[in-house]
Amino acid sequence: MDGKMRAMMFYAPGDVRFEETDIPRPKDGEILVKVKAATTCGTDLKTYRRGHPSIIKSVPSTFGHEFAGEVVEVGKDVDNFKIGDRVVGGNSAPCFHCYYCNQGMYSLCENLEFLNGAYSEYVAVPKQIVKYNYHKIPEGLDYREASLVEPLACALHGIERTPVRVGDVVAVIGAGPIGLMFIKLAALKGARVISIDLSDYRLEESKKFGAAMTVNPSKKDSVSAVKTLTELGKGPDVVIEATGFPEVWEQAINMVRPGGLVNLFGGTKKGTTFTIDCQLFHYSEITIKAVFHHTPYYVKKALELLTTRQVDGKLFITGEYPLEKTIDALESIGRQEGIKYAIIP
């Protein structure tokens, strides 16, 4: 396809413009997808406010990474998709040959190829992603719900690497989209979940996803409040941090029971540090870990969970915005108004 498309173009932090740009042409092995729905994400809000070294390497650039759409053009040597297919997938794909890929640690691939440009009318999906991390959308799953595959895959990766047993008490700090996904997945594993957030609206919403208890840190000390909700006041078996603030990382560690595990999932700015009580860490035998991104396996599983309604995608979509109002939608998310918004080009 030749011609122009409308897109949100990133020029600099705080400078994103709605304008016309060339429709990308798919190269060999690539597909051109007409975006039917994109969804807002905290990462995109951070990108808008301060840029992103991995995803935006030159400007001006399209941006956004959660979307689903229809194949309108197919490059040479593509045999797994055809024009008219409804498709969705991950926003990256590993190389499968670097040191970390050879260890099976695909989220740490040294050559991750990223996809960018969800907030536009068309996106050319790179060859590596088309080949290894893209799927047809099953009948019955709409585009808005399907666009949740990427963030759900990240949460799936996080929960699968966090040992949660039936009956465990799991505290999830942050009831944004990723936090709510963790709440749902932990509940599916049979855990009793405590949702912690500054927003009463989001705490109430978290109950729809399986939260059994809620705590608002603006009204009471979160560490002591959460501990009082656990057996003998010892603390949760697992704490999952989904905000990306170092002071909250510290609270998560102070909150977990001796012998428990803390998953610091929320990403922070480069150069950020936090403080830990070494005596508490050592003598309480606390496990602290971090999990990043997703892998092709979890992208496929996320699509299955959404298709079978084990995770109800409709619950995550608060409303819709037109493409030209993308920044308004992101700012609404920044003000904790709603959960996610669908951007409809």
C-alpha angle 126-91-57 in degrees, rounded to nearest 5: 75
- Please compute, for residue 110, the number of CA atoms within 13 A of its CA located in the half-sphere on the CB side: 7
| Spatial separation of the C-alpha atoms in residues 320 and 205, rounded to whole Å | 18
Residues 168/194, Cβ–Cβ less than 8 Å:
no
Which pLDDT value is given to residue 131?
A: 97
What is the reported pLDDT for 6?
98
The single-letter code of the amino acid at 245 is: F
Q: Which two tokens stand for residue 129?
A: 């992603």
Residue 57 pLDDT? 81
d(CA 243, CA 231): 26
Domains detected in the chain: 4-153+293-344 (3.90.180.10), 162-289 (3.40.50.720)
d(CA 206, CA 208): 5
Tokens describing residue 345: 């080009």
- Rounded to whole angstroms, the Cα distance separating 57 from 50 reads 13
DSSP assignments along 270-312, one per residue: TT------HHHHHHTT-EEE---S--HHHHHHHHHHHHTTSS-
Q: pLDDT (tens digit, 0 to 9) for every residue of the chain, 345 residues total?
A: 679 999 999 999 999 999 999 999 999 999 999 999 999 998 899 899 988 777 788 899 999 999 999 999 999 999 999 999 999 999 999 999 999 999 999 999 999 999 999 999 999 999 999 999 999 999 999 999 999 999 999 999 999 999 999 999 999 999 999 999 999 999 999 999 999 999 999 999 999 999 999 999 999 999 999 999 999 999 999 999 999 999 999 999 999 999 999 999 998 888 999 999 999 999 999 999 999 999 999 999 999 999 999 999 999 999 999 999 999 999 999 998 999 999 999
The confidence score (pLDDT) of residue 53 equals 73
Cα(161)–Cα(104) distance, integer angstroms? 14
Please give the pLDDT value at position 269: 84
Query: Which DSSP category does 175 fall into?
Result: -
Please, what is the Cα angle at 339 between 326 and 17, to 5 degrees?
10
Phi and psi at 344, nearest 5°, equal -110, 105
Task: Give residues with Cβ within 8 angstroms of 70, minimum separation 6.
Answer: 33, 34, 36, 84, 85, 86, 87
- Per the omega criterion (within 30 degrees of 0), is the bond before 258 cis? no
Closest CA to 187 of 155, 216, 227: 155
Cα distances (angstroms) measured from residue 156 to each of 64, 114, 159, 195, 215: 21, 19, 5, 18, 24
